[in-house]
Amino acid sequence: MTGNPNRRPKNAFRSDPRMVCTNPAGGRVRMVDFALMPDDVFCSQILYQSEGILVILSCDPPLARGPGAHTHIQDQFFYCLGGELELELGAEMYRLVRGSLAHIPAGTKHLHWNEGNVPEFHLEILVPGVAFYAPGTTFIDEDGEWEPGGNVIPPAVKIAAPAVRVLSDPTGTMCPALPDSHNVLIAAVSQSPGSSAANDGGMRVHACDQVLYVTGGRLAVDIALDSYEVAEHGLVIIPAGVPFRHRAVGDGVQTHLLLVIPADGAGAGAYPAHNMLEGEAVDFAAAP
């Protein structure tokens, strides 16, 4: 299949991709700095990187397009934070809006651009966390063959909090919206004011690294001995083995995107978690 050449941006669209490298280890909790993104060309900003995952903030300004048609050696996801994005994925065309999630399997040809008059921002999630550009990216002739592949799921209709919508699941047991994605757990979480991820509100320990991206409201987070209150577009890094808890604060519903990275490529056994009961001995000072 040749894709949709009539829908692709022509000369009127700017294409000069840039990369902004921030410090991926710059603290467990921090706000994303949108001011670093230029307003004239596509740009990406590294938010977090480990062996298991690479998380990037990307912006397609009005009438700008991303890199030319290409593939990656790892699976990739787009999660739209705002604006609208045209995505040619495999042999299909999609329009992403706030809350849309695209799954781009490894080796699947894709191309994206912004036809609107406001900037579009999206998270790019690549698993495992190898290089974003070369040698992890191969550019391909846009007018060549476009084989089927990938999928896009629209935003969920509004549901009452608390709720967890599993989008990608390595275990294959959680009925994810993307059943063919197996490298990372992705969930859209909503919490009513005062509610906690743990029923008893106690500290928890996970065997896997976690990344939380706050998409709405405010989230109170305790990580070992440190406490934070995180607003929209805040990034939270919870390393494996470190005690944590979080809850919604304020008057409105709190929402965040949860990314859980399986340890050493583990599958169904990668997500054990246990509550730290009252009185259990925990050496907080030894936490990483």
Q: Omega before 162 cis (within 30°)?
A: yes
Q: Cα 99–106–47 angle (5° rounding)?
A: 50
In tens digits, the chain (288 residues) has pLDDT values of: 455 655 666 545 555 556 555 544 446 898 998 988 888 889 888 898 888 889 999 999 999 989 889 999 889 999 999 999 999 999 899 999 999 999 999 999 999 999 999 999 999 999 887 765 555 788 888 888 889 999 999 887 666 667 888 888 877 777 888 888 878 889 999 988 877 766 666 788 888 889 999 999 999 999 988 999 999 999 999 988 899 999 999 988 999 999 988 765 444 344 444 444 333 334 434 333
Q: What is the pTM of this model?
A: 0.86
What is residue 7's predicted lDDT score, i.e. its pLDDT? 62
What is residue 18's predicted lDDT score, i.e. its pLDDT? 60
Q: Whole-angstrom Cα distance, residue 118 to residue 123?
A: 17
Q: Which domains does the chain carry?
A: 5-153 (2.60.120.10), 163-286 (2.60.120.10)
Q: What is the average pLDDT score of the chain?
A: 81
Cα dist. 127→79, 170, 176, 219, 272 in Å? 14, 12, 17, 26, 20
Closest CA to 38 of 134, 111, 121: 121
What is residue 24's predicted lDDT score, i.e. its pLDDT? 47
Cβ contacts of 165 within 8 Å, gap of 6 or more: 156, 159, 177, 187, 188, 189
What is residue 205's predicted lDDT score, i.e. its pLDDT? 86
Tokens of 124: 């790019």
The SS3 assignment for 176 reads coil
